Amino acid sequence: MPELEEVRGLEEVRGLEEVRATLQIAKLKEEDLLPVFHCLSFRRSAAAADYHLLELDPALCAQIQAGESLIIRGDKDEHAVLCSEEKTYDLKIADTSNLLLFVTGCRTPDQLTDGPQHLQLVQAEIWGYANSYWELRRQRPKLKKLKKLLLESPYSGPPISTQDEVPESKYTMQDLLDRIQSSREELEAHLHTIHACEINGCWRILEFDYELKLLGHVTQLVDSESWSFSKVPLRSCLEELGPLEPTAMIEHCLNCYGRRYNTDEGEVMFALDEDKVCRAMALMLLQNAVKFNLSEFQEVWQQSVPDGMATRLDQLRGLALVDRSSRPETVFLLKVEDLPDDTLERFNALFSLREKWTQDDIEPYIQ
């Protein structure tokens, strides 16, 4: 054992002497440097393919340290994205000219402030290395596939009997997260935007005709009871319309086209959104027409909405486009969600429809 200790001591001295010799050749003063030096050696099994580096911003680092997960999503034909609970990030490989080393037990300068004052050599083993790392860039979630999946099994009301239930593709929230390149929070927000609802554990999108039918029941009840559009009681709606449609669908319709609030007495009320109701009626009129004479459309549109509501052309932003250059002036359906997600493809699609755009016209489609 004394002989082994003597050999170790000789190796340490030799190592320190080599450090001092290197400092002298480099014309560096020992007192200008931190007193701890790392002597690096490669582990025999060290390889570049064993490890991958991911660059994270402070917020994502904090989430990882808190035990939360980051998930890489994408089918085989899609460019992978990384998702937290709230955001979606594009994943790109960034090459570096510097070799990045993975070292165990290596200490950074801020960890050496209370270290030894005399020269010390630390043996550090390199477990792996890399010439590149994954770089994250915040991007919009890729949600176009969501509506396509949900339209495989649109909901048109409860089946009349069990024999009418046709096996169809239905998706739970986890199924959608596995297929859609989006964070959970962004996915849930878009499901709300497209008026999807959860039925028996699966997310479904309502057939538009059925959605209009539900809305018609609500607006007719408001008219017959002489309620204010800003004071529609949930309980009365469910009691009156329950025999006609499932109460869950009536409440879903109110959530889609109104704002829920509670009175001082604790009663749940809804304030119907005039713009949302008018947009739904406009979509009903425009969905089967290539182009509509603008003046005729405005007249029919106003007649289609409940009494007391007023239609305005600004309610069509992102839904339809008015052509002022044609004679007579026309309006046609152009939904923002039907345009490509890619920026260049979207601009190409827009300028293939029209050579010149005003800012007011194009803004809803690029904002």
pLDDT digits (tens, 9 = 90+) for 127-168: 888 888 899 999 999 998 999 999 999 999 988 765 455 556
Q: What is the pLDDT of residues 189-229, one digit of tens each?
A: 999 999 999 999 999 999 999 999 999 999 999 999 999 99
In the chain, what are the domains?
16-107+118-138 (2.40.128), 143-205 (no CATH), 208-272 (1.10.10), 288-365 (no CATH)
Rounded Cα gap, residues 179 and 172, in angstroms: 11
pLDDT band at 29 (very low <50, low <70, confident <90, very high): confident
pLDDT band at 38 (very low <50, low <70, confident <90, very high): confident
Q: Tally the C-alpha atoms within 13 A of residue 327's C-alpha that lie toward its C-beta.
A: 0
Neighbours of 233 (CB within 10 A): 16
pTM over 0.85: no
Residue keyed to tokens 């593709």: 169
pLDDT for residue 49: 63
Per-residue pLDDT, 236 = 95
DSSP state of 243: T
The structure tokens 């939904």 sit at 335
Grouping H, G, I as helix, E, B as strand and the rest as coil, residue 362 is helix
For residue 127 the two structure tokens come to 């477990």
pLDDT for 95-112, tens place per residue? 888 888 888 777 777 777
Say what the pLDDT of residue 129 is. Answer: 83
Taking the C-alpha atoms of residue 22 and residue 16, their distance in angstroms, rounded to an integer, is 10
3-class SS string, 317-350: CCCEEEECCCCCCEEEECCHHHCCCCHHHHHHHH
